[in-house]
Amino acid sequence: MTLWRKAIFQNPSDKAIRQFLLSIHRIAVVGLSPKPDRPSFAVAKVMQQVGMQIVPVRPFTESVLGEPAYASLSDVPDKVDLVNVFRAADQVDAIVDEAIALQIPAIWIQQGIINEAAAERAQAAGLFVVMDRCIKIDYLRLCL
């Protein structure tokens, strides 16, 4: 008797991640904290320093890192290349659904956040998906 097991989500190769990171310019950071001691702030700041435009997505916040903040992805004007997620795993489903509906081409679920079903759904919808990795670490390791 053969037992079939559902495939486990696989991140793209380092080569594909590098190519992707070098091709993007505008990152919507969901859950970007205005507090400098928070990981989301530190990561977004480095990405801003390497030339990315950061778009904070955080309700009840006016601005972060000198950029105006928006309550949701749907409120962000103009196109974004990537949604970078700093929210709890149980909140990723709604973010993925919104990214798919808005036809955002990619989603990066930060290191320590795992929601395989949401990642697989995004991938099946054609998004470039990275999960449980830090965009700052990968950018510094692969692109500099």
In the chain the first and final C-alpha atoms are separated, in Å, by 50
For 49-58, what is the mean pLDDT? 98
**Per-residue model confidence (pLDDT) at position 7:** 58
Give the contacts of 117 (CB within 8 A, at least 6 positions apart).
Answer: 93
What range defines the domain where residue 37 resides? 25-143
Which residue's structure tokens are 């904070």?
56
Q: What is the pLDDT of residues 6-28, one digit of tens each?
A: 558 899 999 999 999 999 999 99
Question: Domain count of the chain?
Answer: 1
**Per-residue model confidence (pLDDT) at position 60:** 95
Is the pLDDT at 3 greater than 60? The verdict is: no
- The answer as to whether 16 is a domain residue is no
- The answer as to whether 18 is a domain residue is no
Could you give the CA distance from residue 53 to residue 66 in angstroms, rounded to a whole number? 11
List the CATH number of the domain containing 30: 3.40.50.720
For 58-76, what is the mean pLDDT? 97
**Per-residue model confidence (pLDDT) at position 4:** 54
For 54-78, what is the mean pLDDT? 97
